[in-house]
Amino acid sequence: MQILVTGGAGFIGSHTCVELLKRNIDLIILDNFYNASPKVLDRIETITGKRPALCVGDIRDEALLDTVFAENDISAVIHFAGLKAVGESVEKPLLYYGVNIEGTVKLLSAMDRAGVRKIIFSSSASVYSDEAACPFSEDSLTGCTNPYSWTKWMIEQILTDLHRADDRWKIVILRYFNPIGAHPSGLIGEDPKGIPNNLLPYVAQVAVGRREKLGVFGNDYPTPDGTGVRDYIHVCDLARGHVLALEKMEELPGLEIINLGTGKGSSVLEVVSAFEKASGKPVPYEIKPRRAGDKPECYCDPEKAKRLLGFETEYSLEDMCRDSWNWQSKNPFGYEQPE
Ligand SMILES: NC(=O)c1ccc[n+]([C@@H]2O[C@H](COP(=O)([O-])OP(=O)(O)OC[C@H]3O[C@@H](n4cnc5c(N)ncnc54)[C@H](O)[C@@H]3O)[C@@H](O)[C@H]2O)c1
């Protein structure tokens, strides 16, 4: 069995490739390096002793997709490739709908032509409505506030319709909560280009001295310390969830939506404090106004992942901060060192 991993050079994709290779599952990465470095391949090889096959290209390139399916013996696809910055999606909706939706439709069409009808799709907790209450279960009300989240929501709908039309499809939609941390080796991790959009890379860049201080958006939410609460999950736990989904896919009824999170919320200030402890570095911060569209709290009910996949998280918030710092301190500028 060979797995096509779109976006396999990215943050979650690279960690999932390591998990697959560790289990001797053969794979090929399709990535255009829009938000990744080719150096990831060397690092994956150092960790696993195996170099994944690579196809450099765009998921919107139909001819390339047909060639990839024709030339390889692919049995399933794990589809990470896409754009993920919420703020950028508000400014450039056509780019986001183009890459995420058009890219996914072209990928699914190429899979159908090739007779490969098994896919694991990266969705997001951001599809849950502001009206829904925590913990979010897979049946909680959905509804989005920005183009990025709408692309995830719409792709979920496309996959649902596809499965309804042709029940040969096996589809697992994984709704991730907040992936952080890094591989314990410190060789691969999150390497955002420009100003980080997510909390952890920002905190790590402050601790390593690349940025002066963290902006904390709102300290008057109805949460224990007033700052936003999120369900942080170690990226290696998340990666393992994909391998379990792949292994269980055949037994699942056809299409399943599954949350991947710890089920536990941590506030921004709890994360800052855990990171300071793990790194031994101060993380100065400044309270700023709330950001439009931010939920006060977002954490999952992890019961379905446990029931269907046997998935339970292993890493604590302290582990996540330790591994994040290990990656950041060994690679202060990510994969590309400045001249
Ligand atoms: N990181 C998160 O917080 C989070 C949360 C929920 C869902 N997700 C989803 O999980 C997936 C992976 O996220 P990530 O954090 O690893 O992001 P990432 O940006 O690190 O990885 C995405 C990868 O896709 C590649 N890519 C982008 N456009 C492409 C295209 N047109 N053709 C081929 N490759 C392309 C990028 O180069 C990158 O390697 C994304 O779909 C994202 O929306 C991420």
Tell which atom from ligand 1 comes closest to the C-alpha of 198: 3
User: 128 catalytic, yes or no?
Assistant: no
User: What letter represents residue 130's amino acid?
Assistant: D
Sequence-distant (6+) residues with CB within 8 A of 89 are 83, 95, 96, 146, 147, 148, 151
Of residues 148, 202, 221, 232, which has the active-site annotation? 148
Tell which atom from ligand 1 comes closest to the C-alpha of 12: 16
Within 6 A (CB) of ligand 1 lie: 7, 9-13, 31-36, 58-60, 80-84, 99, 103, 122, 124, 176, 178-179, 198
Residue 79, CA distances (Å) to 61, 63, 120, 136 in order: 15, 18, 6, 23
Task: Output the residue whose Cα is nearest ligand 1's atom 10.
Answer: 122
Task: Output the residue whose Cα is nearest ligand 1's atom 42.
Answer: 84
Q: Which residue has the tokens 């601790």?
A: 207
Query: How far is it, in rounded angstroms, from Cα 113 to Cα 46?
Result: 36
Q: Which two tokens stand for residue 199?
A: 């909390």
Which pTM was predicted? 0.98
Task: Output the residue whose Cα is nearest ligand 1's atom 38.
Answer: 10
In order of start, what are the domains of the chain with their CATH numbers?
2-181+233-263+299-313 (3.40.50.720)
- For the chain, residues with pLDDT lower than 50 are none
Distance 255 CA to ligand 1 centre (A): 22
Provide the residue count of the chain.
Answer: 339
Residue 192, CA distances (Å) to 35, 98, 250, 336 in order: 7, 21, 35, 11
Q: Is 294 helix (H, G, I), strand (E, B) or coil?
A: coil
The answer to whether the beta carbons of residues 83 and 197 sit under 8 Å apart is no
Instruction: Note the pLDDT of residue 339.
Output: 67
Tell which atom from ligand 1 comes closest to the C-alpha of 176: 6
Instruction: Note the pLDDT of residue 219.
Output: 97
**What is the Cα 277 distance to its own chain's centre?**
25
Q: Which two tokens stand for residue 39?
A: 């150096």
Distance 60 CA to ligand 1 centre (A): 14
Instruction: Note the pLDDT of residue 142.
Output: 98
Q: Is 268 helix (H, G, I), strand (E, B) or coil?
A: helix
The answer to whether the beta carbons of residues 83 and 16 sit under 8 Å apart is no
**What is the Cα 161 distance to its own chain's centre?**
23
Query: How far is it, in rounded angstroms, from Cα 174 to Cα 14?
Result: 17
Task: Output the residue whose Cα is nearest ligand 1's atom 18.
Answer: 10
